[in-house]
Structure 1
Amino acid sequence: MACFSALLIIVFLSLSPLNASAQGTPEGASFTASLLNIEAPVNETFRYQTTLKNSSGQAQVYELKAETPEGWRLAFKARGSQVTSLNVEPGKTENLTIEIRPAYGAKPARYSIPVQAIADSETLDLELEAVVEGSYEMELTTPSGRLSGEITEGEKAEILLQVKNTGSLPLNEITLSSQTPPKWEASFSPSEIQQLDPGKSVDVIATVSVPDKTLAGDYVNKFTAKNAPSTSTATYRMTVKTSMLSGGVGILVILLSIGFVFYLIRKFGRR
């Protein structure tokens, strides 16, 4: 009798896993990622390349779901389009890109992102991890915040700019460039900043040269500070004035013209 009972227990234990497999995920079905853990700055997009495999004997439509921290954005992309579900043929696999954008100002930490692919007969789970480092951010402005000035045609002007590290990570190899009106020239001192720590700023002098005979008026100059992960542009408006010499020459020409006309009137008017 004891042997018979032991035999029943062995049979029961051997059958139980088979029943669980039939009711749960089919053998071989999977939802996997090439990288489960990605580390990046808070202002970058975390991209995970995943594969969804359907090992059942029929096509499955998988509903795609994920749980993200508040303020975070997540998108599933397949075959170049954003999707919320994916049809996978029997015995086939589909590549799926999961793009996660952290919330603005998310604190540096390790975040778990549970993802699910849900079909009628199965639920496939995938646990992703996003490690937020911090942020690369900079601001190019002036110490006073004023972005306008005056200059006389044919002269040079020095503009005091300021590069600020407004992120939480150091900025390296920052270069400065300009976009000026035709024939204008601009140079920077310094022209490159090797390293700028978070919360720090560096003053930069931009020297702008205006060609002779530039018409009076307002002109726009764009100054840019840039490194690999971040860029900031300041639009600086400059009002060009005519030089006193040019103005004096113009007045003299006008007076000479008037005098010449008056002379002709008097000379030929008598005839």
Structure 2
Amino acid sequence: MLFNYLFRLNTSKCFYASITFLFFIVSGIFSSLNAQRQPLKDDGLKSTFSSDLINIETSVGQVFRYTTTLENNATEDQIYQLTAKVPEGWKAIFKAKGKQVTSIKVDRDKKEIINLEFYPSYEAKPKKYEVPVIAKSKQESLSLNLEAVVSGAYELKMTTSTGRLSDKITEGEKKEIQLTVKNTGSLSLTDIELNSKTPPKWSAVFKPSKIDKLSPGETENVTAILTVPDKTIAGDYMTTFTAKNTNTKDEAVFRISVVTSLASGLLGAIIILVAILVVYILIRKYGRR
């Protein structure tokens, strides 16, 4: 009897233990399925700062324009300070919603479009510049590495040695005008031709007549010998001096004030006096009749 009682007791305990174990297994399965149906928020999801274009190439004097996206995946709204580590002499401008900004608020789980402009230095050399851009808030710091490639530019400037673009000349004489031709671009210039556009019957000769080569930043002095023909009516005349090659050109418009010579002035005065004298004599002679 005792043996049977103990056997039934052990059997009952095993039964309850099995039921309990089976309950925990089923609970775990349902918990796992429920977890799969309801995805948890990933607390490790980071905010992002990206650009549609990373590398842009343009010439000196042109603007580099990027379109960036700042996405806030944090648990709360954030204000990001915007900075760009541009090379010396460059300028960076951030724009959002049509306004220039230095910081921007981005709501949680939202994104903002930020337009970024780089203005390179006029003296920037042709090469690739790496520009780190940072969006920093109290909670995080996001970085974006952009590339600005400055390509070579052909450009020259023609003017006078003094900067003055006007002078006087006596009709029938010659005038030497000191010009300067400077390579203001970032690439060398070769075979630069010198030309002029003068009033009819005028002429201009250049010394030297051609510039073989100008390196970036280099200046060449040129003398233009302008000849004004005799009997040119006094007044202001425009002469255009041009320097050009196959890549670029520039011109200087020069105003020439022509004055009469002393001999011509005396001759004109004598003619006027003679005419007055003749009229006077005629009046004295025939005026009494």
Aligned-partner residue type, residue 65 of structure 2: Y
For structure 2, the residue ranges without an aligned partner over 5 or more in a row are 1-41
Greater mean deviation of Cα atoms: 183-192 or 127-136: 183-192
**Shift of residue 99 of structure 1?**
1.7
Cα distance in 2 between the residues matched to 1:208 and 1:95: 60
Is 1:66 paired with 2:84?
yes
**Correspondent of 2:66 among 44, 49, 52:** 49
1:6 aligns with: none
- Shift of residue 222, structure 1, vs aligned partner: 5.2
CA shift at 1:195, angstroms? 6.0
Corresponding residue number in structure 1 for 2:117:
98
TM-score, normalising length: structure 2: 0.57
Q: CA 1:144 to 1:62, structure 2 compared with 1: closer, same or farther past 3 Å? A: closer
Counterparts in 2 of 1:264 and 1:186: CA distance versus 1, 3 Å:
closer
Question: Residue 165 of structure 1 corresponds to which residue in structure 2?
Answer: 183
Tell me how far 1:110 sits from its aligned partner. Answer: 4.7
Question: Residue 51 of structure 2: which of 21, 24, 32 is its match?
Answer: 32
Quote how far apart the aligned CAs of 1:159 are.
5.0
Matches within 5 A, 1:244-255: 247=265, 250-255=268-273
Task: Tell me what 1:261 maps to.
Answer: 279
Structure with larger Rg: 2
Question: What are the residue-to-residue correspondences of 1:191-230 with 2, within 5 Å?
Answer: 196-198=214-216, 199=218, 201=220, 203=222, 205=224, 214-216=233-235, 221=239, 223-225=241-243
Alpha-carbon distance in structure 2 between the residues aligned to 1:149 and 1:183: 19
5+ residue gaps, structure 1, are: 1-17
Alpha-carbon deviation of 1:78?
Answer: 4.3
Query: In the aligned structure 2, how far is the partner of 1:177 from the partner of 1:88?
Result: 60
Q: Is the 8 A contact 1:64 1:117 kept in 2?
A: yes
Q: Aligned residues, how many? A: 244
TM-score by length of 1: 0.60
Give the letter for the 1:255 counterpart: L
Match of 2:66, SS state, is strand
Q: Does 1:241 align with 2:286?
A: no
Offset at residue 95 of structure 1 (A): 4.7
1:124 aligns with 2:137: no
| Distance change >3 Å, CA 55–CA 80, structure 1 → 2 | closer
TM-fit CA distance, 1:76: 2.1
Q: Which amino acid in structure 1 is aligned with residue 51 of structure 2?
A: T
Would you say the 8 A contact 1:36–1:127 is kept in 2?
no
Aligned pairs (5 A) from 1:7-22:
18-21=42-45
The residue type paired with residue 74 of structure 1 is A
Q: Is the 8 A contact 1:140 1:224 kept in 2?
A: yes
Asked if the contact 1:31/1:124 (under 8 Å) is kept, the reply is: no
Partner of 1:151: 169
State the distance in 1 between where 2:101 and 2:191 align.
39
Give CA-to-partner distance per residue, 1:36-82, whole Å, 9 cap, x none. 354644xx245031221435498765432112334332222345543
Deviations 1:99-148 (Å, cap 9, x if unpaired)? 2323x545666543211123455433111234456775534245798865
Residue 188 of structure 2 aligns with an amino acid whose one-letter code is P
Which residue, out of 103, 106, 115, partners 1:85? 103
